[in-house]
Amino acid sequence: MKKFIAIILVSVMICLLFAGCGSKAAPEIESVSAPEVIELTGKSAKYSGKGVVINSNVITINAEGDYHMTGRLDDGQIVINTGNVAGTVYLYLENVDLNCLTAPAIYVLQAEKLHIVLPEGTNNRIVSGTEANMANYDSSANGGAIFGEDDIDIEGAGSLEIFGYINNGITCKDDMKIEGGNVTITAANNGIKGSESVTVEAGNLSITCGNDGLKSSSADKDGKGYVQIDGGTVSINSVGDGISAETELIINGGSLSVTTTGNSLTESCKAVKANKALTISGGTLDLVSDDNCISTNEALIVSGGIINAVSSSRKGMHADEMIQITGGTMNISSVEDGIQTKGDISISGGDISVRSEEDCIKSGEKGDGTVSTTGTVTVSGGDLKLCAVGDPVEAKLSFVCSGGSIFGTGSPKNSQKPDSSSQSFISVSFRGKAGDVLTVFGEGVESSFETAYDYTSVLFTSSSLSSGSSYKLSTADSSATVTAN
């Protein structure tokens, strides 16, 4: 009998030995026991694990780690404070309803970073103040339904509603990042204010607010003060600016829809703006504003993406220093200039359509009696359809077209032609009305577009034009034979 038991033991040991030598990809055995949960009970909470102190309606997490939370807290607060130890806290919200009448419902006092995790299938709600606070909010209040002295990330696949009735929806003194989740924010002041940076990488973010939608506010540290959109779906309805970056605004991807409802005569309500460089390399932007749709105090660089911009009072795209477009698709409609800068404009690619009640493309400062050193428009590629009440192109210094194509209409006082060093072009007086389908055709050339305004002048240039050759301009009502320069 002892011999038989010994044989069985040896067999078991051999099986265990071979099991240990298996592939590293073998699945790990999950723990059967569920994690300890912080259960909110209305006026307080229950929790028997470590790292949490419950003092009536204030629940403090004082050690790094993973914490799962469920239930409802009425007029209470969740405080994250790991003290002198720079700990990282993961807070899983599992159908949580947090309410605080006079302060942030979640307050990150001290921690390396707070990760707010929204598990798939959960619906969560965080509120500071009451809806009655909206009309007379105090912008100096320590507001924000979520307020952090340190970094905050939101991630997961669940849903979170945030109501910042006291001030902002989320205020973060360091870096704020959205990595996932279905997040809806209603705020009296700003939707999300991340002092040093705001980044959206994924998820669905919807903001309705009384001031700016996404905002960074501090340039005290090198490389900080930026807003970056890399992915996800972002929808903003704001009274102030849709996105406001203290330094750079970088849009690499995602879907961005911004509508600003403020009055540009009394306040800044730009769709997207940056105090330094603004770069767009991808994504889809649908922008509607009474103010400039895209605006920067330095350079605007566009290399890709789809931009649909409508400004009911101001400019479509504006940059103080210069504009460079190398690609992308743009549909711009504006009351003032469509694409405008005090400096130079360079276009080497892209599919660009502009409708402007002033000038479509404009570079350089207004004349002050001195010789301008900037104000060049250079087109070396791309396909441009320009419909203006004023000039299709106005360059204070020079206009050079060495590639691509431009088809423009307008009623300029002095129609501006490309410089003599440019490719062949047509620039003639030709009258028509809004709604015309205007066509130019001839040897190797056939192009047309529908006009938006009455016009007295037509500009057309293409690498396919031959200098000295005749071409026909026509609409349903009239036609003319013209010679290319």
**DSSP string over 315-371:** -SEEESSEEEE-S-EEEEEESS-SEEESSEEEEEEEEEEEEESS-SEEESPPP-SSP
Q: CA-CA distance, 30 to 10, in Å (whole number)? A: 27
261: number of Cβ within 10 Å = 13
233 within a domain of the structure (yes/no): no
pLDDT for residue 370? 59
Strand partners, 89: 65, 114
Could you give the 3-state DSSP secondary structure of residue 435? coil
Q: CA-CA distance, 459 to 472, in Å (whole number)? A: 13
The CA–CA distances, whole Å, from 33 to 29, 36, 119, 140, 232 equal 12, 9, 18, 46, 35
pLDDT for 107-126, tens place per residue?
Answer: 999 999 999 999 999 999 99
Q: CA-CA distance, 480 to 458, in Å (whole number)? A: 11
CB 310 within 8 A of CB 333: yes
Task: Give, as one character, the DSSP assignment of residue 29.
Answer: P
Q: CA-CA distance, 406 to 93, in Å (whole number)? A: 55
Q: Tokens 């609409």 sit at which residue?
A: 475
Find the helix or strand (DSSP H, E) in which 179 lies: none
pLDDT for residue 1? 37
pLDDT for residue 140? 73
The CA–CA distances, whole Å, from 429 to 306, 409, 415, 432 equal 33, 10, 9, 10
Least Cα distance to 90 among 98, 99, 80 occurs for 80
User: Which residue type, as a one-letter code, is found at position 432?
Assistant: G
Q: CA-CA distance, 276 to 375, in Å (whole number)? A: 20
115 within a domain of the structure (yes/no): yes
429 within a domain of the structure (yes/no): no
155 within a domain of the structure (yes/no): yes
pLDDT for residue 444? 87
Q: CA-CA distance, 125 to 161, in Å (whole number)? A: 5
The first and second tokens of residue 337, run together, are: 């200039």
Confirm whether pTM is higher than 0.85. Answer: yes
User: Which residue type, as a one-letter code, is found at position 404?
Assistant: G
Least Cα distance to 90 among 158, 153, 29, 4 occurs for 153
Find the helix or strand (DSSP H, E) in which 20 lies: helix 2-20
The CA–CA distances, whole Å, from 192 to 141, 149, 186 equal 15, 14, 10
How many separate domains does the chain show? 1
108 within a domain of the structure (yes/no): yes
What are the residue ranges in the chain where pLDDT is below 70? 1-35, 142, 366-372, 414-415
Supply the range of the domain harboring residue 61: 35-189
Least Cα distance to 460 among 374, 379, 340, 395 occurs for 379
Alpha-carbon Rg for the chain, nearest whole angstrom, is 30
Could you give the 3-state DSSP secondary structure of residue 314? coil
269: number of Cβ within 10 Å = 26
128 within a domain of the structure (yes/no): yes
Question: DSSP letters along 370-417, please?
Answer: SPPS--EEEEEEEEEEEEESS-SEEESSEEEEEEEEEEEEE--SSPPP
CB 241 within 8 A of CB 249: no
67 within a domain of the structure (yes/no): yes
pLDDT for residue 15? 33
Least Cα distance to 227 among 267, 280, 182 occurs for 280
Task: Give, as one character, the DSSP assignment of residue 134.
Answer: G
pLDDT for residue 100? 96
71 within a domain of the structure (yes/no): yes
pLDDT for residue 136? 81
